[in-house]
Structure 1
Amino acid sequence: MSVPPDSGPIGAVFFDVDGTLVPGTSSSVFLAGYLGHRDELAAAEAAYAAGAMDNRQVSELDAAAWAGVPEQQVENWLTGLQLVPGITETVAWCRRRSLVPVLATLAWTPVGRFLAGRFGFHAFSGPELETAGGVFTGRVARHFDEYDKRDVALGQAHELGLSPGACGAVGDSRSDLPLFAAVGVSVAFNASADARTAATATVDGDDLRSVLPVLGRLVTATR
């Protein structure tokens, strides 16, 4: 059931990026292919997923390789980032039903900014890289972990006048677990075992539209 556009949002859906909108890898590993440390970063991200490294350690390792790279160059690289099909249609589906689509991710903010601009997500958040004169310095300006991800998402819901129970989250891994525990509907999409256990529903598929029947629960709950 669609809700008239002047009625305000009835809910929000928070979408993870790495492993969810970016299938099978992360945006950071993709960019590391250009920056020259792809294998090292992939190993660090695997250690994070296993609980052997924290997000701060991974972010600092990655950030160092960005030193001297112009911001515009990264935006150009991101045009080649492989994405799961169905993002445009899923965002449109959410908006037609007065569900606000938001990016909730540990991907660097240049990635969130790029995807929000391309697909029309309401907002994005994530760790920030330090820049000077339009060039990355190789340092982290703002660390951002899975608990920050949850807290910022819930803050965005509050700003929209929404309760956590009126919100959904779509993700695939460790970084999604705190947010999954906080919202009304959580979807483990092509996910790890831990995410599947924590989510209210599990969906496997090669198109993001596969999650729409589950997200529909947010709409029917307002009837």
Structure 2
Amino acid sequence: MSEAGESHTISDRRSARLPRLRLAVFDLDGTLKEPFSPWRYLHQALGVEEQAAVYRARFFRREIDYLEWARLDAALWKGIPLAEVQGIFRRSPYRLGVRALFSVLGRHQVLTAIISTGLDVQARQVAVDLGVWRTVTNELTVHNGLLTGEVVVHVTEHTKGEVMARLRAEADARPTECLAVGDGTADLALFAQAGLAVAVCPRDSSVAQAADLVVEDGDLLAIVPLLEQSFCLAQT
């Protein structure tokens, strides 16, 4: 057998031992998009950040829980046209390499999902842009094209792991067959269910410590070489 043939055989054997990458789960804000909080991003754009800061302080003093904080924040947007909010989120920049990474994942038939404490308005846009399979976020209610000031909370800082478990079951993916990418402590629950964990510009040292790869410069294209080392990627 030629050297080239032997090399190909060894490569095939190595690939056979690696798990297939079936599901890639991403946080959204601070991970795929640069602003780390869509709530604060929207508050600033709509000129209500001063009042929102009061609610934020109450939450971190543990005077209110997450559900109440979300309810108070959403109430600040009552009567705002949905189209205006959509336009604001359209201007929120993606991190470097996001589109290229999703192109690679799509080419290898990897299901992609977003689990975020952020807002459905932005997540739907991202899903269309990137071809995301599932998004689970918090839902702003709309009537006659206007925000009602209400929010349906589907994800909190403490429930991302539960959501990922449901998506893994739907995708028939074992933890070893998953990639998880995030930036905050809430994403540690995603990392715990993934064969490969990536921290993007982590906002806490515990996130960096739990990750297999830390992307300090925010360019998600850096993930691709590690995918090829860690998983057997489906051939197209």
Give the direction of change, closer, same or farther, for the CA distance of 1:107–1:24 in structure 2 (3 Å limit): closer
The aligned counterpart of 1:210 is 222
Give the superposition deviation at 1:114.
Answer: 1.1
The aligned counterpart of 2:92 is 81
TM-score, structure 1 as length reference:
0.83
Deviations 1:119-154 (A, max 9, x none): 211121111122223321112223421343222222
Deviations 1:41-61 (A, max 9, x none): 46866887x795753243223
Aligned positions, number: 215
Q: How does 1:12-91 map to 2 (within 5 A)?
A: 12-38=23-49, 41=52, 54-91=65-102
Deviations 1:78-136 (A, max 9, x none): 22112212111110111122222221211111111111112211121111122223321
- Structure 2 residue runs of 5 or longer lacking an equivalent are 1-10, 12-19
Give the direction of change, closer, same or farther, for the CA distance of 1:45–1:207 in structure 2 (3 Å limit): farther
Give the superposition deviation at 1:211.
Answer: 2.1
Q: What is the alpha-carbon distance in structure 1 between the residues aligned to residue 38 and residue 29 of structure 2?
A: 6
The aligned counterpart of 2:209 is 197
Identity rate of aligned residues, in percent?
A: 27
Q: What is the alpha-carbon distance in structure 2 between the residues aligned to residue 202 and residue 47 of structure 1?
A: 32
Amino acid in the other structure paired with 1:118: D
Deviates more, 1:179-188 or 1:127-136: 127-136
The aligned counterpart of 2:137 is 126
- SS in structure 2 at match of 1:18: coil
- SS in structure 2 at match of 1:105: strand
Give the direction of change, closer, same or farther, for the CA distance of 1:30–1:70 in structure 2 (3 Å limit): same
Contact 2:21 2:232 in 1 (8 A): no
Amino acid in the other structure paired with 2:95: V
Give the superposition deviation at 1:19.
Answer: 1.3
Q: What is the alpha-carbon distance in structure 1 between the residues aligned to residue 58 and residue 178 of structure 2?
A: 30
Q: What is the alpha-carbon distance in structure 2 between the residues aligned to residue 18 and residue 193 of structure 1?
A: 18
Give the direction of change, closer, same or farther, for the CA distance of 1:208–1:131 in structure 2 (3 Å limit): same
Deviates more, 1:202-211 or 1:110-119: 202-211
Amino acid in the other structure paired with 1:83: Y
Deviations 1:25-53 (A, max 9, x none): 322222112222235546866887x7957
TM-score, structure 2 as length reference:
0.79
Give the superposition deviation at 1:206.
Answer: 3.2
**RMSD of aligned Cα (Å):** 2.8
Contact 1:129 1:136 in 2 (8 A): yes
- Structure 1 residue runs of 5 or longer lacking an equivalent are 2-8
Q: What is the alpha-carbon distance in structure 1 between the residues aligned to residue 142 and residue 136 of structure 2?
A: 17
Match of 1:137 among 124, 133, 148: 148
Q: How does 1:125-204 map to 2 (within 5 A)?
A: 125-191=136-202, 192-204=204-216
Q: What is the alpha-carbon distance in structure 1 between the residues aligned to residue 193 and residue 218 of structure 2?
A: 26
